[in-house]
Structure 1
Amino acid sequence: MHRPIALDLPRGSVAAETLSSAIDELLDTARDEVPTQFPPEVLAAAEDAARRVRASAPATDLRDIPFVTLDPASSTDLDQAMHLHREQDGFRVRYAIADVPLFVELDGVLDAEARRRGATLYLPDRRIPLHPPVLSEGAASLLPGQDAPAFVWDMHLDARGELISLDLVRALVRSREKLDYEGVQRDLDAGSGHPQMQLLQEIGALRAAREAERGGASLSVPEQEARLDGGAVRLDWRRPQPVEDANAQLSLLTGMAAADLMLEGGSGILRIMPPAQPAAIERFRRQCTALGVTWPEDMPYGRLLRSLDWREGRHLALLNQAASLFRGASYAAFTRPEERPEDPRQAAIAAPYAHATAPLRRLVDRFVLLVCHAHAQGRAPEPELLAALAQIPPIMQETVARAGSLERSAIDLLEAEALRAFVGEQLPATVIEVREAGENAPARVEVQLAEPPVTAWVPGSAPLGEEILLLVGESAPGSRMPRLEMAHSA
């Protein structure tokens, strides 16, 4: 039986069933590269793993610690839980990460399937998980009230939020509550809220200040988000809530601690990114001048980016241009001290860093957690684990690129459908990128519309940061996307 299609859709929305059919077609074209179903033997192995782990819990029992999780309200694949405590001279942060390796044995059926997928794939109307749901949304997830195995990072911070000591154990934990970003932020804004969330705000602010001191940078730009509303799906611009930024600082803290453990231990997988090239910085400096934004010579670009407000057109353009400063991210595996990368830093973070906090959704984290635990316990990682490390970076590179392409194609579908409701109208937009005419290409600009929330390339010329009007026309034959043409300055 088919779901009824909504006839009176909100403007700029698309019927969920229409979008689902279009994405089905998209996935069908990529079926040889993107597995959408788990083979029977993988599902059976996941069921067996869930039963096996339930019957043999870790020896260390930390179920008396009142951990809580903080995620989007709809999430059920919960990788992280936290318990925050104020100490006389600082803070104690216990960060529990789902012990996926306990369920997914190295070189087993589940491991092979996870390597085929690389990461959970997020599309506007569905999620294609890295692991079977019986694990990712069940036995391995840190769901409230459920006993679950976890790697528990026990970190002591001083009064400035600097890490001063670290321990890492595998333990049995039990989350007490599943908190969600919007609800927590609403309570915090009202001056109340969960005590641990109030402490999270404080620790997050301290860690953000330490990031600024290191010269770290982040791009505070709105993100496109597909929202399901009854039988309709629509795009919205979404900017993370302040409490999400604070929560991200805990993940960064853990990833930096993981990187330091592996560098000291002589083996592991880092997430690295080279510093911005001088030519890219100089180009960005010229763009600041052209847009009337003052950038003092002695100010790190990370501090400048934190001062920009995406709601202002010139700043929005600059934030998009700043993406050129954050290029070349990759994974670096090493099994001996002499193989460590010459520059182990992730330049945007301005410190060595590793992916270690999302093993339910990302392949590499499972291997990082195992290596870190071995180093934390003062022993060498198992030879078979070390032998696997070099295989993970190319898998991640290939699967992430494939997922990114598919996710972009799916958003393109939703953008096209959203624009159809505005055919014949003029819409305001901000120029965020400019391409001059070339030998085989006309001049064009990339624009960002506020409503509907679409980013697109349009023929013509206009200054970076300019507010313009776009005329929405009928789609060209064989194309879903309505034509966009420059009208005149707003």
Structure 2
Amino acid sequence: MPRRVVRLRDEVLSADGETLRAGIVAIQAELEVTPEFPPEVEQAAQAAAKNPRLPGLDRTELPFVTIDPATAQDLDQALHLERKNNGFTVYYAIADVGAFVSPGDPLDQEAHKRGETLYGADSKVPLYPKALSEDAASLLADQVRPALLWTIELDGAGGTVAARVERALVRSRAKLSYVEVQEQLDAGTADPVFALLKEVGELRLAQEAQRGGVSLPLPEQEVRIDGEHWSLAFRQQHPVEQWNAQISLLTGMTAAAMMVEARTGLLRTLAPADPRDVERLRRTAKALRIDWPQDQSYPEFVRSLDPATPSHAAMLVACTRLLRGSGYVGFSGELPQRTGHSAIAADYAHVTAPLRRLVDRYALEISVALSAGDDVPGWVVDRLGELPKTMQGSTRRANQYERAVLDLVEAAVLQEYVGERFDGVVVEVDDRDARKGDVTIREPAVEAPISHQGELPLGTDVQARLAAADPRTRTIRFELG
């Protein structure tokens, strides 16, 4: 996919990288986070990298590949698919952090303080030192690595028939990007395994629809860096990303099913939508003049929306309200009141990103023990009560960090253009004051507050005048007209 260049009057809108990096350091200080690790943690990482606990099972004959953003080095997952009889076998290898980290050691203690990796432009505050997260534990190409290997048998419709997870040695054959794989698929030159990924991915999407699951196809706002110039753009997902995500969802659902059956686990949960919130969305659709038949479910309605249409983009932003409030629940011996994730329409566990999320290491240890018929380790069970709170805090911090970095870059890119008018779409209007809301500016890709003397026209193309842009306070404000 060609790189999108953000322009105004034939000039690229960008900000100076040195200034922005200084701003990011300030954000890290505010949130009390740092990419640096204490010396004892770095030393523990170096020692663990040299002496991992390796499994006896060798599955390096399987031709795994990784598919990630082009610049990623913390590679959690590698996949391989085969057609089997009338169905499929999915092999999904997950980095085995447990081969390097021991309960209570300096790496473990620091990971509990951090909770998850924080991402923002070219700045990353990792969960584990790079000696592990981007080297010894990462599923890098042509390197033998310890992994948690999921083997999931599917029928011809993509439904799960059987599954197991075990520790094994694996080797990725190639580090590929989403862009590379999509281009190969579009050109008809892709390896047959990616044709299978497409086939299985589309079957799993159909399964999701049958369950009543839903995902919002919102474009991602991203910072693009070219030397010392930073700019902003919106990026639509490639189809291969959706198919790859379905493999991750399949694995998380498989792990959750094991946990619920055993009554011991660590699940990601989301309460069902309040009927009043759904009715509110129906009123929003009516205001946007989008047809939502009364007999059409919310997931079906979302799948009918086109994010490239201004009114539909505003509708999708409104739909994010139903996804708020997700959390974690740990349990042993008795099922919690709620186990399900309403957006996925199934029980679900985070088990596919242990290099970037603390909770996945614990959920994987539970899964591999249950799969083998063993008792879940006591050090895991002992943490089930506190981990949801730890992850709640780290998720909140990660959201704050990402938003602060984006606010900084937006303000820096736009600071010289105060008074200029930009094409945009009003995507949200304040329930308590219809004169206030949010606007999405297409070029540069900015989401910011907007105000008007009268009622804001939700879902409408507008000319938004930039009233303020201050990198020091990381604030932007637009006015209508």
**TM-score, with length taken from structure 2:** 0.95
Helix, strand or coil at the partner of 2:29: helix
Structure 1 residues 368, 485: closer, same or farther in 2, change over 3 A?
Answer: same
Aligned 1:109-128 pairs, distance under 5 A: 109-128=106-125
Three-state SS of the structure 2 residue aligned to 1:271 is strand
Q: 1:262 aligns with which of 256, 259, 277?
A: 259
Q: Secondary structure at the match of 1:196?
A: helix
Match of 2:363 among 351, 365, 368: 368
Select the residue among 285, 290, 308 that pairs with 1:311. Answer: 308
Q: Deviations over 1:218-252 (max 9, x none)?
A: 11111111111122111110111110000000000
Q: Do structure 1's residue 41 and structure 2's residue 33 form an aligned pair?
A: no
**In structure 2, distance between residues paired with 1:308 and 1:470:** 25
Greater shift after overlay, 323-332 or 429-438? 429-438
Instruction: Please give the secondary structure, in 2, of the residue aligned with 1:255.
Output: helix
- For 2:278 and 2:200, locate their aligned partners in 1 and report how far apart those are by CA, in whole Å: 31
Given that 1:476 and 1:483 are in contact with CA atoms closer than 8 Å, whether structure 2 keeps it comes out as no
In 2, the alpha carbon distance for the partners of 1:436 and 1:395 equals 32
Q: Specify the SS of the correspondent of 1:23.
A: helix
In the alignment, structure 1 residue 197 sits paired with structure 2 residue 198: no
CA contact (8 A) 1:11 1:421 kept: no
2:353 corresponds in structure 1 to: 358
**Conserved in 2, the CA contact under 8 Å of 1:12 and 1:417?**
no
Task: List runs of 5+ in structure 1 lacking aligned partners.
Answer: 1-8
What is the CA distance between 1:478 and its match in structure 2?
6.8
Runs of at least 5 residues in structure 2 that lack an aligned partner in the other structure: 1-9
Q: 1:17 — aligned with what?
A: 18
Q: CA deviation at 1:297?
A: 2.2
Identity %: 44
Give the drift of 1:205. Answer: 0.3
C-alpha distance 393-309 of structure 1, shift in aligned 2 (>3 A): same
Counterpart of 1:447 in structure 2 is 439
In structure 2, what is the Cα distance between the partners aligned to 1:192 and 1:11? Answer: 34
Asked whether 1:146 is paired with 2:143, we answer: yes
Q: 2:308 matched to 1:328?
A: no
**Change in CA separation of 1:244 and 1:478 when aligned onto 2, cut-off 3 Å:** closer
Give 1:456's aligned amino acid: A
Amino acid at match of 2:445: P
Paired residue secondary structure (1:76)? coil
CA deviations over 1:46-82 (Å, ceiling 9, x no partner):
11111111xx521000011111111111111100001
Partner of 1:388, secondary structure, is coil
1:135-160 alpha-carbon deviations (Å, 9 max, x no partner): 00111011111010000000110000
Residue 464 of structure 1 pairs with residue 466 of structure 2 = no
Q: 1:251 to 1:478 in 2, by over 3 A?
A: closer
**Aligned Cα RMSD in Å?**
1.6
Match in the other structure for 1:3 = none
Alignment correspondent of 1:6: none
For 1:476 and 1:19, the matched residues in 2 are separated by: 13
Matched, 1:393 2:388: yes
1:26 aligns with 27
Structure 2 residue matching 1:93: 3-state secondary structure = strand
The CA distance in 2 between the partners of 1:465 and 1:206, in whole Å, is 33
> Is the partner of 2:411 in helix, strand or coil?
helix
Say which is worse superposed, 473-482 or 94-103, in terms of deviation.
473-482
Distance, in Å, in 2 between the alignment partners of 1:269 and 1:81 is 23
Q: Go from structure 1 to structure 2 and tell me whether the alpha carbon gap of 1:46 and 1:216 turns closer, same or farther (over 3 Å shift).
A: same
2:241 counterpart SS class: helix
In the TM superposition, residue 481 of structure 1 has moved relative to its aligned partner by 3.8
Distance in 1, Cα, partners of 2:421 & 2:157: 51
CA distance in 1 between counterparts of 2:250 and 2:310 reads 33
2:244 to 241, 244, 247: 247
Closer, same or farther: CA 44–478 of 1 in aligned 2, 3 Å: closer
AA in 1 matched with 2:381: L
- Larger mean CA deviation between 203-212 and 323-332 belongs to 323-332
| Contact map agreement 1:417 1:481 (CA 8 A) in 2 | no
Find the counterpart in structure 2 of residue 275 from structure 1. 272
SS of corresponding position for 1:177: strand
Instruction: Write the distance in 2 (CA, Å) between the matches of 1:327 and 1:480.
Output: 24
Partner of 1:131: 128
Distance 1:292 1:211 in 2: 27
Q: Which amino acid aligns with 2:165?
A: L
Residue in structure 1 matching 2:417, options 416, 422, 431: 422
**Deviations 1:375-395, CA, capped at 9 Å, x for gaps:** 101121122221112121101
Aligned residues: 470
Residue aligning to 1:90: 87
Paired amino acid for 2:23 = A
The question of whether the paired residues in 1 share the 8 Å contact of 2:448 and 2:477 is answered with no
Shift, 1:443, TM fit: 2.8
* TM-superposed deviation, 1:100: 0.5
**One-letter identity of the residue aligned with 1:51:** K
Mean CA deviation greater in 21-30 or 409-418 = 21-30
Does structure 2 retain, via aligned residues, the 8 Å contact 1:16–1:125?
A: no
- Deviation at residue 482 of structure 1 after TM alignment: 5.1
CA–CA separation in structure 1 for the residues paired with 2:464 and 2:202: 40
Contact 2:409 2:471 (8 Å CA) reproduced: no
Say whether 1:104 aligns with 2:101: yes
Matched residue type, 1:425: E
Partner amino acid, structure 2, of 1:45: A
Q: Which amino acid in structure 2 is aligned with residue 426 of structure 1? A: R
Are 1:302 and 2:303 counterparts?
no
Report if aligned partners of 2:415, 2:470 keep a CA contact under 8 Å in 1.
no
1:270-293 Cα distance to aligned partner (Å, 9 max, x none) = 000011100000111111122221
1:5 matched residue in structure 2:
none
Q: Please state whether the residue corresponding to 2:12 is helix, strand or coil.
A: coil
State the distance in 2 between where 1:379 and 1:473 align.
62
Shift in Å, 1:422 = 2.9
